[in-house]
Chain A
Amino acid sequence: MSDSSTNLETAAHPENLRRVAIDPVSRVEGHGKVTLLLDDDNRIHQVRLHIVEFRGFEKFIQGRPYWEAPVMVQRLCGICPVSHHLAASKAMDMIVGATLTPTAEKVRRLMHYGQILQSHALHFFHLSSPDLLFGFDSDVAKRNIVGVAAQYPEIAKQGVLLRKFGQEVIRVTAGKRVHGTGAIPGGMNKNVSLEERDYLLKDADQMIAWSRDAVGIIRQAFEQNLPLYNAFGSFDAHTLGLIRADGAMDLYHGGLRARDKQGNTLFDHYDYGHYWDVIFEDVKPWSYMKFPFLRSLGPEEGWYRVGPLTRVTQCDFIPTPLAEAERRVFVAFDDGRPARSTLGFHWARMIEMLHSAEMIRELLLDPDLQGTDLVSLGERQERGVGVIEAPRGTLIHHYKVDEHDQIVRCNLIVSTTHNNQSMNESIRRVAMQHLDGHQLTEGLLNHIEVAIRAFDPCLSCATHALGKMPLEVELLAADGARLDVLTRNMDGVSCPSD
């Protein structure tokens, strides 16, 4: 197989091929599907991940007052609402001309690292650990969080409590575990009291220790399955993410850094207030989700990857000692092969969880959290752009506000959108590696899921239901007649032709 698999996007002669559809693949607050075109020998000629992106927010937020946006937009998601809350708040900081006070920025950062911690814990332990601990085609009855809890009760417990801790950090800073209100244009509506700080601080060291153990779990999984894990959906991609001025990982703020597949810098510390000069969104007729690309490379070659794998490999260093030590292990491991693998996302994600736990402790010890100067205002601006590194990757919020304080334009580029082409590339690789020439099986289906799931594309509906996406694979004849169907729902897998 060539290094680039984009030739699987469109088959040369689709009219002679059978179509297999995985529909629905659950994803961000909605549904997507995977379609495959096969010839008579089950050779794969086309693979597409179609995603039905719900972009209604950009429309119905028009006309709303700008201070409402940070609360309204977090309803985009129930897993990472804090990310939307903070990205919108950062955009509104620009609208009101604010330079955040130290207290406001640090409380926001604390909220954000709580969010990263809980989201990463949820994804790794609840959704992905069954695949990693039991195997991709292991007994489906056991391949879920309940199975993990039965066989690895300590790991399951740690996952639950890590997520709970992250949620408590969010509650303290935003007022609620989900869909709070802490950040407002120009700052925060509360600080962190000494009582609240002590409540969180008492568990901080334990969270760091458990996060470190989690890095060990995924490293061990790589060590035990090295050829499979290194090759699984492996490809080189251009990368994009925020970076601190000194090159450190910074998930809350920074400039944009982009590198090409060979690791050469395309731009660095770029002011995200003009992101549209370096990023553009392409439209393809077969998907409702846009395909962002780097302008300098064009729509065909300019697609890129965001998220934990990019952030951990793209930063010069991580500014907390334990996570930095793990980063060095990761990028050097087996000549850097895991950093090219789709499954490398999991390893990078756990390094970020460790970093978040360390950052939470560091921030909790900062007396600025108890400051009372919470809001700053400056000269009013018409346009606001807020960019943050959300758990799944770079998140862009862009608003235009008129003289009556009403939002007149909104553009959101969410992490999963950035990764659209990368996810397509990944499942094409996996399809070629594991499906090509084979008959459909449940284990086959799960290989596709494993690849999609590694990106953690916020498949909140069904994926988050004990890690089982409802999937249906249809085998259609050239005339459209259904020859075979394989269905998986919450009751298990069924195949009428069996």
Chain B
Amino acid sequence: MSHTFQLDGANIGFEPGQTVMQAALAAGHYIPHLCYHPEFKPHGSCKLCTVKVNGRTLASCTMPAEAGLEVESNTDELNALRRTLVQMLFAEGNHFCPSCEKSGNCVLQALGYDLEVHSTGFRHQYPDRPVDASHPEVLLDFNRCILCELCVHASAEVDGKHVFALAGRGIEKHLIVNAESGQLADTHFSVNDKAMAVCPVGVILRKEVGFSQPIGMRRYDARPISAQALEDAPRVPAGDSHE
């Protein structure tokens, strides 16, 4: 392969059109990430995948791979920043892992463990967020939303339904349901929708099946997310994402 760049001192080959993230995962190198999903156009919002490229901090999920780049990722400095970002996400929402049915399958929780987030770091904001249980088969627990937008993209780009959207700005930004009532029951949402499957945390939940997966059988029980992500990669060939 003629195209290569350096990631933490290792040579990483890439295909033209790949991002630094795609090339790294395909080559067996993990860069922590949260809102990146291989089936959707990356939008660089969570900043967990931030790397230093030739001295500049950039989101590796949106940075096109280029020959000769010198990329730093697994450094104390960057991991400390990532740890802080995860702490802020935990403080901003209501994430009660002990009673959350997504525990063991949650990307945010798995990142917390992998990045060694041992304390909350920030005062919890305890926002007053609703639970939408109106749909007969699906429960929405907005307490855990991290605004990754994956459900917004999945519903719009794959399901063609535009069920979800983000409203408000800044600290007031929040996930909404596109219905006059604001209730999921008044949309065409289905448990078979792509949006049902992409939520990295415990917001979009199938009803009545919580905790049916025994401890030990959950996605991140056997291995940390850094190892699991590499086992899963490469998930789709470069250039096959939903643009």
Chain B residues lying within 8 Å of A404, measured Cβ to Cβ, are 133-134
CA distance A481 to B137 in the complex (A): 64
Residue in A closest to B211 when the chains form the complex, CB atoms: A181
Residue in B closest to A60 when the chains form the complex, CB atoms: B96
Question: Is the beta-carbon distance between B133 and A68 smaller than 8 angstroms?
Answer: no
A334 within 8 A of B: no
Task: Render B207-230 as a binary contact track against A, CB cut-off 8 A, 1 for contact.
Answer: 111111111100000000000000
Question: Is the beta-carbon distance between B133 and A405 smaller than 8 angstroms?
Answer: yes
Given contacts A175-B216, A406-B131, contact A68 B207 (CB under 8 A): no
Chain B residues lying within 8 Å of A65, measured Cβ to Cβ, are 131, 133, 139, 205, 207, 210
Quote the shortest CB–CB distance from A384 to chain B (angstroms).
Answer: 14
CA distance A405 to B139 in the complex (A): 9
Chain B residues lying within 8 Å of A96, measured Cβ to Cβ, are 208
B170 within 8 A of A: no
Question: Is the beta-carbon distance between B131 and A405 smaller than 8 angstroms?
Answer: no
Of the residues A179, A185, A375, contact of B98 by C-beta under 8 Å: A179
Quote the shortest CB–CB distance from B186 to chain A (angstroms).
Answer: 13
Question: Is the beta-carbon distance between A190 and B214 smaller than 8 angstroms?
Answer: yes
Residue in A closest to B131 when the chains form the complex, CB atoms: A63
Of the residues B131, B211, B215, B216, contact of A67 by C-beta under 8 Å: B211
CA distance A174 to B131 in the complex (A): 28
Of the residues B210, B213, B214, B216, contact of A68 by C-beta under 8 Å: B210
CA distance A190 to B211 in the complex (A): 11
Query: Count of chain B residues with Cβ under 8 Å from any Cβ of A?
Result: 18
Of the residues B98, B133, B214, B216, contact of A406 by C-beta under 8 Å: B133
Chain B residues lying within 8 Å of A71, measured Cβ to Cβ, are 98-99, 101, 211
Question: Is the beta-carbon distance between A72 and B99 smaller than 8 angstroms?
Answer: yes
Question: Is the beta-carbon distance between B212 and A405 smaller than 8 angstroms?
Answer: no
Residue in B closest to A186 when the chains form the complex, CB atoms: B208
Given contacts A65-B133, A406-B131, contact A189 B98 (CB under 8 A): no
Query: Count of chain A residues with Cβ under 8 Å from any Cβ of B?
Result: 25
A157 within 8 A of B: no
Chain A residues lying within 8 Å of B215, measured Cβ to Cβ, are 174-176, 180-181
Question: Is the beta-carbon distance between B213 and A189 smaller than 8 angstroms?
Answer: yes
A184 within 8 A of B: yes
Chain A residues lying within 8 Å of B139, measured Cβ to Cβ, are 65, 405
Interface residues of A in 170-203 (CB under 8 A from B): 174-176, 179-182, 184-185, 189-190
A75 within 8 A of B: yes
Question: Is the beta-carbon distance between A189 and B214 smaller than 8 angstroms?
Answer: yes
CA distance A65 to B207 in the complex (A): 8
Given contacts A65-B139, A71-B99, A404-B134, contact A189 B212 (CB under 8 A): yes
Chain A residues lying within 8 Å of B99, measured Cβ to Cβ, are 64, 68, 71-72, 75
CA distance A72 to B211 in the complex (A): 11
CA distance A49 to B123 in the complex (A): 36
Chain B residues lying within 8 Å of A63, measured Cβ to Cβ, are 131
Quote the shortest CB–CB distance from B220 to chain A (angstroms).
Answer: 14
Residue in A closest to B221 when the chains form the complex, CB atoms: A175
Question: Is the beta-carbon distance between B98 and A68 smaller than 8 angstroms?
Answer: no
Quote the shortest CB–CB distance from B34 to chain A (angstroms).
Answer: 24
Chain A residues lying within 8 Å of B212, measured Cβ to Cβ, are 184, 189, 375
CA distance A190 to B215 in the complex (A): 9
Task: Render B112-148 as a binary contact track against A, CB cut-off 8 A, 1 for contact.
Answer: 0000000000000000000101100001000000000
Given contacts A180-B215, A189-B211, A189-B212, contact A68 B134 (CB under 8 A): no
CA distance A188 to B41 in the complex (A): 40
Question: Is the beta-carbon distance between B208 and A67 smaller than 8 angstroms?
Answer: yes
Interface residues of A in 365-424 (CB under 8 A from B): 375, 404-406
CA distance A406 to B133 in the complex (A): 7
Task: Render A142-162 as a binary contact track against B, CB cut-off 8 A, 1 for contact.
Answer: 000000000000000000000
Chain A residues lying within 8 Å of B214, measured Cβ to Cβ, are 175, 181-182, 189-190
CA distance A175 to B211 in the complex (A): 11
Task: Render A64-78 as a binary contact track against B, CB cut-off 8 A, 1 for contact.
Answer: 110110111001000
CA distance A70 to B207 in the complex (A): 15
CA distance A177 to B221 in the complex (A): 15
Chain A residues lying within 8 Å of B211, measured Cβ to Cβ, are 67-68, 70-71, 181, 184, 189
Interface residues of B in 154-213 (CB under 8 A from A): 205, 207-213
CA distance A72 to B202 in the complex (A): 15
Chain A residues lying within 8 Å of B210, measured Cβ to Cβ, are 65, 67-68, 184
Question: Is the beta-carbon distance between A75 and B98 smaller than 8 angstroms?
Answer: yes
Residue in B closest to A184 when the chains form the complex, CB atoms: B211
Given contacts A181-B215, A190-B214, contact A405 B98 (CB under 8 A): no
Residue in B closest to A406 when the chains form the complex, CB atoms: B133
Interface residues of B in 71-86 (CB under 8 A from A): none
Question: Is the beta-carbon distance between A68 and B101 smaller than 8 angstroms?
Answer: yes
Chain B residues lying within 8 Å of A185, measured Cβ to Cβ, are 208
Chain B residues lying within 8 Å of A190, measured Cβ to Cβ, are 214
Chain A residues lying within 8 Å of B213, measured Cβ to Cβ, are 189
CA distance A71 to B133 in the complex (A): 19
CA distance A70 to B213 in the complex (A): 14
Quote the shortest CB–CB distance from B203 to chain A (angstroms).
Answer: 13
CA distance A174 to B205 in the complex (A): 22
Chain B residues lying within 8 Å of A176, measured Cβ to Cβ, are 215
Quote the shortest CB–CB distance from B191 to chain A (angstroms).
Answer: 14
Chain B residues lying within 8 Å of A184, measured Cβ to Cβ, are 210-212
Quote the shortest CB–CB distance from A445 to chain B (angstroms).
Answer: 35
CA distance A63 to B134 in the complex (A): 12
Chain A residues lying within 8 Å of B101, measured Cβ to Cβ, are 67-68, 71
CA distance A75 to B97 in the complex (A): 12
Question: 26 A-B contacts, Cβ less than 8 Å apart?
Answer: A64-B99, A64-B131, A65-B131, A65-B139, A65-B207, A65-B210, A67-B208, A67-B211, A68-B99, A71-B211, A72-B98, A96-B208, A174-B215, A175-B214, A175-B215, A176-B215, A181-B211, A181-B214, A181-B215, A182-B214, A184-B210, A189-B212, A375-B212, A405-B139, A405-B208, A406-B131
Given contacts A71-B99, A189-B214, 4 further A-B contacts (CB under 8 A): A71-B211, A174-B215, A175-B216, A190-B214
